[in-house]
């Protein structure tokens, strides 16, 4: 099972990423855009994900992934149960969520190993 501390170790070194505690919820963002957020009990992680692909993701693994609340359906967002994640998958989800919100040149430098 992946923990918030595991995700913190992944997200914190990403360029322009910052951690915030908002209404007792840990969130990671770039500027004002949240790309990862946890439920208050830290059992569910929400992350940036293309709206047009999330139904397929949830349908493929419904025990792992969840649709966001109805009020959040307008956002590029999906949820995952922390207990169903392994560390490699968490790393992939977090980095891809971060990639969606940083400028392309920042991601290109990161991918090229320029840190």
77 contacts 46 by C-beta, under 8 angstroms = yes
Q: DSSP 3-state assignment of 39?
A: coil
Using DSSP bridges, classify how beta strands 25-30 and 17-22 pair: parallel, antiparallel or unpaired.
Answer: antiparallel
Candidates 71, 11, 70; CA nearest to 45 is 11
> What pLDDT is stored for residue 115 in this prediction?
55
Q: Looking at residue 114, what is its pLDDT? A: 63
pTM: 0.93
Digitized pLDDT (tens) for each residue of the chain, 115 residues in all: 899 999 999 999 999 999 999 999 999 999 999 999 999 999 999 999 999 999 999 999 999 999 999 999 999 999 999 999 999 999 999 999 999 999 999 999 999 986 5
Q: Are 81 and 43 in contact (CB under 8 A)?
A: yes
Q: Look at residues 55, 15, 18 and name the one whose alpha carbon lies nearest to residue 36.
A: 18
**What pLDDT does residue 113 have?**
85
The class level of CATH for 4-107 reads alpha beta
User: In sequence order, what are the residues at sequence separation of 6 or more whose Cβ sits closer than 8 angstroms to the Cβ of residue 32?
Assistant: none
């Amino acid at each position: 099972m992946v923990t918030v501390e595991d995700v913190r170790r992944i997200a914190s070194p990403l360029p322009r990423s910052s951690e915030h505690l908002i209404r007792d919820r840990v969130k990671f963002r770039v500027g004002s855009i949240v790309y990862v957020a946890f439920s208050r009990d830290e059992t569910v992680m929400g992350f940036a994900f293309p709206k047009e692909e999330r139904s397929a993701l949830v349908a493929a693994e419904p025990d792992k992934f969840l649709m966001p609340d109805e009020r959040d359906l307008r956002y590029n967002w999906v949820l995952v149960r922390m207990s169903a994640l392994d560390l490699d998958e968490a790393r992939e989800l977090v980095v891809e969520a971060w990639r969606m919100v940083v400028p392309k040149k920042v991601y290109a430098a990161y991918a090229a190993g320029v840190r």
